[in-house]
């Protein structure tokens, strides 16, 4: 699980891309209209997570906004973002809490409860109603139920396994079991299905090892990207699975098999770390990296998968130019692709913005380990 900060303090190069630099901006004058939030994880146990906001129309970015708005740090390993009714929710994994701030001003209203703790290791927040949301957990075997309005705990859905990513189809949540780091005897190759009307698990679907991200296609089928176990001798390769929500069954649709470099004869293995759908659901964008003999990944690229043909395009490639991409998001309105790239463990990273066809539009500096992104 190369993205788990407990075991990831990688040092990577901070090579700059050749593109128009973003002009600096006074955060107080930014005016958080339409744009994208970038949550910077920070370094594990350093409590240096931060929040960036980028305005694509003005091509301006502002960093460390949470601290500037509240005069307090976000905490240790900022994990994910959610938004509802004009409020932004920041899930902080290792600090074990969720912050609630105004999505326009980023201010915590301290006259009310604006921080909810009581989790074991929160990861993702999925809001289904103004007064109801689910929170996945890296340690707890299930989903927390919380009320975003008054920031309170309401219950817990037992799934029998740890939980990570969440997508919704109708009245059901599909929840990936990505990690068994704290429960090593538990298999980590399933997706749990939870009925949100009754708050019970209704199905468990077997997929590949380490299902890390999920997306929904134009047919309302759930696709699951699985990391596999490439660090093991003869380990399982990364795979993509399609789940039929009606049948509650999954089929492997693509395997990232090794290839042989025709020039050097070297065997090249692959890691697949992130998947996002385009606004139509006809395509998925996937971050794919080369894996060396020591199991380390580098030389990333974003590739485009066609749901109809179930194949990757041979002509669409966004290259990291020998570096490593970290996370990705797709603007649900424009289809533009945002890809983050990290520096070393103490340097700020960058986010690169591309058209839906992979043409670089701009780049901007973010914080340390820029990861989760949310469009406003």
Q: Decide: 272 and 227 in contact? Cβ < 8 Å.
A: yes
- When the pLDDT of each residue in the chain is averaged and rounded to a whole number, the result is 90
Of residues 327, 323, 319, the one with CA closest to residue 374: 327
Whether 360 has a pLDDT exceeding 50, the answer reads yes
**Picking from 29-38, 160-169, 267-276, which range would have the lowest pLDDT averaged per residue?**
29-38
pLDDT band at 30 (very low <50, low <70, confident <90, very high): very low
In angstroms, rounded to a whole number, what is the distance separating the alpha carbons of residues 312 and 271?
Answer: 15
Q: DSSP letter for 204, please.
A: E
Whether 35 has a pLDDT exceeding 60, the answer reads yes
What pLDDT is attached to residue 349?
A: 94
For 37-375, which CATH superfamily applies?
A: YVTN repeat-like/Quinoprotein amine dehydrogenase (2.130.10.10)
Q: Decide: 138 and 155 in contact? Cβ < 8 Å.
A: no
Q: Decide: 38 and 373 in contact? Cβ < 8 Å.
A: yes
- Average the pLDDT over 314-332 and give the result: 93
Q: Decide: 11 and 282 in contact? Cβ < 8 Å.
A: no
In this prediction the pTM is: 0.91
What pLDDT is attached to residue 31?
A: 61
- Average the pLDDT over 100-122 and give the result: 95
**Picking from 96-105, 169-178, 275-284, 321-330, which range would have the lowest pLDDT averaged per residue?**
321-330
In angstroms, rounded to a whole number, what is the distance separating the alpha carbons of residues 328 and 304?
Answer: 13
Q: Would you kindly state where each structural domain of the chain is located, as residue ranges? A: 37-375
Whether 16 has a pLDDT exceeding 50, the answer reads no
- Average the pLDDT over 299-309 and give the result: 96
Percent of residues in the chain assigned helix, strand, coil, to nearest 5? 0, 50, 50
- Average the pLDDT over 302-317 and give the result: 97
Residues in Cβ contact with 8 at an 8 Å cutoff, skipping those fewer than 6 apart: 2, 44
Cα 248–chain centre separation: 24
Tens digit of pLDDT for each residue in 124-136? Answer: 999 999 999 999 9
Tens digit of pLDDT for each residue in 40-87? Answer: 999 999 999 999 999 999 999 999 999 999 999 999 999 999 999 999
Q: Decide: 205 and 214 in contact? Cβ < 8 Å.
A: no
Share of the chain above pLDDT 70, in %: 89
- Average the pLDDT over 173-190 and give the result: 90
In angstroms, rounded to a whole number, what is the distance separating the alpha carbons of residues 15 and 349?
Answer: 10
Token couple for 291: 């894996």
Residue 250, beta-bridge partner list: 243
Of residues 308, 237, 246, the one with CA closest to residue 269: 237
What pLDDT is attached to residue 321?
A: 87
Q: Decide: 340 and 351 in contact? Cβ < 8 Å.
A: yes
Report phi then psi at 122, rounded to 5. Answer: -65, 145
Token couple for 98: 């969720």
Q: Decide: 286 and 274 in contact? Cβ < 8 Å.
A: yes
Q: Decide: 153 and 145 in contact? Cβ < 8 Å.
A: yes
Q: Decide: 201 and 158 in contact? Cβ < 8 Å.
A: yes
Q: Decide: 82 and 89 in contact? Cβ < 8 Å.
A: yes
In angstroms, rounded to a whole number, what is the distance separating the alpha carbons of residues 343 and 305?
Answer: 28
In angstroms, rounded to a whole number, what is the distance separating the alpha carbons of residues 72 and 329?
Answer: 27
Tens digit of pLDDT for each residue in 198-245? Answer: 999 999 999 999 999 999 999 999 999 999 986 666 679 999 999 999
Q: Which residue has the tokens 């945002």?
A: 338
Q: Which residue has the tokens 């060396």?
A: 292
Q: Decide: 213 and 205 in contact? Cβ < 8 Å.
A: no
**DSSP string covering 125-161:** EEEEETTEEEEEESSSSEEEEEETTTTEEEEEEE-SS
Calculate Rg over the CA atoms of the chain. 20
Q: Decide: 354 and 361 in contact? Cβ < 8 Å.
A: yes
């Amino acid at each position: 699980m190369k993205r788990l900060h407990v075991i990831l303090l990688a040092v990577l190069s901070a090579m700059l891309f050749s593109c128009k630099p973003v002009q600096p901006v006074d955060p107080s004058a930014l005016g958080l209209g339409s744009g994208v939030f970038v949550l910077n994880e920070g370094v594990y146990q350093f409590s240096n997570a931060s929040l960036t906001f980028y305005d694509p129309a003005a091509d301006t970015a502002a960093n460390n906004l949470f601290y500037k708005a509240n005069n307090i740090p976000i905490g240790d390993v900022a994990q994910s973002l959610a938004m509802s009714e004009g409020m932004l929710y920041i899930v902080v994994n290792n600090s074990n809490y969720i912050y609630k701030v105004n999505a326009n001003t980023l201010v915590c209203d301290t006259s009310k409860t604006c921080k909810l703790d009581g989790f074991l290791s929160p990861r993702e927040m999925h809001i289904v109603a103004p007064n109801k949301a689910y929170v996945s957990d890296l340690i707890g075997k299930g989903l927390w139920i919380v009320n975003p309005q008054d920031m309170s705990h309401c219950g817990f859905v037992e799934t029998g396994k740890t939980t990570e990513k969440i997508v919704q189809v109708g009245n059901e949540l599909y929840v990936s079991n990505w990690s068994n780091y704290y429960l090593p005897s538990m298999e980590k190759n399933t997706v749990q299905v939870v009925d949100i009307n009754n708050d019970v698990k209704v199905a468990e679907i077997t997929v590949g090892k380490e299902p890390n991200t999920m997306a929904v296609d134009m047919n309302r089928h759930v696709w699951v990207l699985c990391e596999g176990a490439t660090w093991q001798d003869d380990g399982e390769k990364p795979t993509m699975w399609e789940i039929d929500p009606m049948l509650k069954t999954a089929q492997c649709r693509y395997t990232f098999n090794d290839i042989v470099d025709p020039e050097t004869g070297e065997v090249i293995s692959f890691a697949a770390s992130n998947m996002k759908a385009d606004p139509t659901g006809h395509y998925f964008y996937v971050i794919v990296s080369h894996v060396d003999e020591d199991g380390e990944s580098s030389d990333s690229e974003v590739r485009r998968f066609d749901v109809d043909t179930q194949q990757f395009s041979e002509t669409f490639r966004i290259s990291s130019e020998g570096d490593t991409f970290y996370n990705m998001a797709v603007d649900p309105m424009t289809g533009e692709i945002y890809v983050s790239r990290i520096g070393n463990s103490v340097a700020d990273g960058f986010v690169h913005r591309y058209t839906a066809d992979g043409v670089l539009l701009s780049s901007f500096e973010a914080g340390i380990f820029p990861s989760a992104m949310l469009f406003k």
